[in-house]
Structure 1
Amino acid sequence: MVCYCSEKKIIYIHIPKCAGLTIEKILVSMYGFKYFTFPKDSSVEELVRYPFLNDPRAKMGLFRYILKYSNESKIYDLNSFFKFTFVRNPFDRAISSVKYLSDRMECSEIRKLEPERYIKNFYISCLSSTYLYFHFILSQEDCIKDLDGNIKMDFIGRFENLIPDLKFLLFDKLGFEVKDINNIHENKSDDNSTFFCKEDVDKIILDINRSDFYTFHYI
C-alpha cells in the first residue's frame, strides 16, 4: 500500500479506501514505481504485497511503519523524498470500508445480525483484527504521520477530485510523461448498504476520527 520511485525520490502513501489501488496501478504499471519490502518475519503471516496488514505494529500508522521497518528505510533517506497521498471525506470513506470489510471472512457471522446491532459488533471486530483496524479505525491523519508525529506531505490530493488532482501532480508538478489515466479504476464498491445503519457509522467516525475532518478540511 506504499510504493516509491527511487530515481525521482517519490513516495506514494496509500490510505485505505481512497482510490489507492487505482493510483498504485497507474504508478506501478505506467511509471515503474516499486512496492516497499520488509524483512521476513515468521511470526507475521505474509501477504503478497502488504505483510504489514497482519502485523499489529502497523497500528502505529502506515508511514511510520515504513520508516521503521521497511528494507528501503535502511537504504534511503525516505524523509527527504517527495511524499504524496490522497484523502477522502471521512464519512464516505467509512461507509466504503464497512462495505468492503463486510465481505471478508472475519465479518461473515456478524453480517447476519439485524442492522441495529451490526455496526457495534463490526466495530468490536475491528479492534481485534489488525487488517480490519487498519481499514476502518486508523485515521487518515495517523496513516501519514512520520516518526515524530508530524504530517509532512508534499502533496495531498482528494478522492473527490481524483483524476484532475492526479494529472496535475504527475504531469505538471512531477514532470512524468503524459499518458491516458482516465479510465483506470481498480475497485468499485457495492451500493447495497441495507445491512447496516449509516447513522451508526457516522457516530463512530465522529468519535474516533474527528480530527480528520479538520486536518483535511471536510467541515
Structure 2
Amino acid sequence: MRLIGVATQYRQNEGLMNRRFWGLLEFYLEALASQGLAHVLLPPQAPEALERILPHLDGLLLPGGGDVDPARYGEEPHPRLGEVSPERDAHELFLARYAAEQGLPALGVCRGIQVMNVALGGTLYQDLEAQGFTEVQHSQKSPAPALGHRVRQVASSPLSRLFPETFRVNSYHHQGLKALGRGLKPLAVAPDGLVEAVALEGHPLFLGVQWHPELLQEHWGLFGLLKG
C-alpha cells in the first residue's frame, strides 16, 4: 500500500494559550482510503525533520485552506486578502518544492494548486471578483456536494482518463492562478479563462486542481493518481 504524506490544516483554539490544532478535514482521508492509499499527516516542522521523513513517502497531498501571503510572490496585500499563515506557507512551499525537485508524486487541491504555483515562481490573483473575474461564480454559494461552473480540458493529461473534455466542478475559492510558475502547463480552464488545473512538465505527477474533489465522490479517482 502506497503511503501519502498530507500537509495539515489548522484551526485556532481560543483556550490552551491560544494555540493551534493542526489536523485535516476527514473528507481527504475518506478520499485517500477509497483509493487504497495509506496516509501520514505532516504538520509544520523543521526542514531537517521533513528531509528525514519525505524520502519514505510515495506521494504528497497539499489540501485546501486560507490565502497564501502575497509577499511570497512579491506583491502587496490586496484589500480583500483573507487570513494568511506564515508558518503554513513556509511549510507547504517547502513540501511543494521538494516534490517538484525530487520527482515525488504530488496532488494540490484548491489552496494546494496555488501553493504549487507560487513554489515555482508563479503569482496569484488575490481576489478574483475585484480583479475582473465576474462572469463565473468561483466562490459558489451552494454547499457540498453541489456542483458549480464548467471547466474545459485544454491539454492531454491524467485528467483525460477521468473526465470528459468539458465537465462541472465545485468552486469555493476567491483567489486563483495568475502567472504560471516555471514548467507548469495549464490542463483545464473555466469559462472566463481562469486556469483550473496545472501539471509540471517532465514530472511523474505534479498536478494541481482548483476545485475540491474530496467533496465529490465521483472525483475521488483524482486521489488514485497518487498510486502511480
Which structure would you say has the larger RCO, counting Cα contacts within 8 Å and 6 or more residues apart? 1
Instruction: Report the TM-score, using the length of structure 2 for normalisation.
Output: 0.29
- The structure with the largest strand share of the pair is 2
Instruction: Report the TM-score, using the length of structure 1 for normalisation.
Output: 0.30
- The structure with the largest helix share of the pair is 1
